[in-house]
Amino acid sequence: MSQSIKTEAFVLKKKTLLDKDLLVFLFTVEQGKTVVVAKGVKKITSRRAPHLETGNLITVMLNRKGDRLYLQETSLLSGFSELKKNPGKVRLLYQFFFVLEKLLPENQREESVYDLTKSFLIKLTQSTSNNNLLGQYLSKLLMRLGYIKKDYDLIKLEEIIFELTNDKLPDLVG
């Protein structure tokens, strides 16, 4: 028995599977972090492929078959193209999404974190100075997820994130 779900989602990351398929990590308001299979999305004729870039806000139609979710349709709501023209902002976007992907529990609704993510992307797009924006939002994120009780500077946050994930924040060139 299959069930269809239509929802809004952020693309957190993707992994290549065999052939032309991808495993896509999405963050939706209803499902929280969820992993879906995107069949055939790496074909050159796929209309869904451009929508599945990290950081994009998309509408998705998902189909549940058994315990798996499959990506059926996508439409782009925002690619945050202005933000992605600035390598420094792209670095911050990827770092924030890295932490989201690592710390969000799977299939658990996190509406306040979803709203925080939208707010971060809007602020990042509008900001002329990126001074401490990542630190402010990572503090809010870790507080909302219950990992910390007060604000910390980015250096301390990086230590906390490393302790929680056993992974360093990616230091992308930019």
- C-alpha atoms less than 13 angstroms from C-alpha of 61 in its C-beta half-sphere: 7
Q: Look at the pTM and tell me if it is higher than 0.85.
A: yes
Q: Which residues are within 8 A (CB) of 15 and not within 5 positions of it... i.e. 6 or more apart?
A: 22, 23, 25
Q: Which residue has the higher pLDDT, 82 or 34?
A: 34
Q: What does the domain layout of the chain look like in residue ranges?
A: 2-78, 81-165
Q: Which helix (H) or strand (E) holds 77?
A: strand 68-78
> Domain 2-78 adopts which CATH fold?
OB fold (Dihydrolipoamide Acetyltransferase, E2P) (2.40.50)
SS3 label, residue 64: strand
pLDDT, position 39: 87
Residue with tokens 């952020």: 10
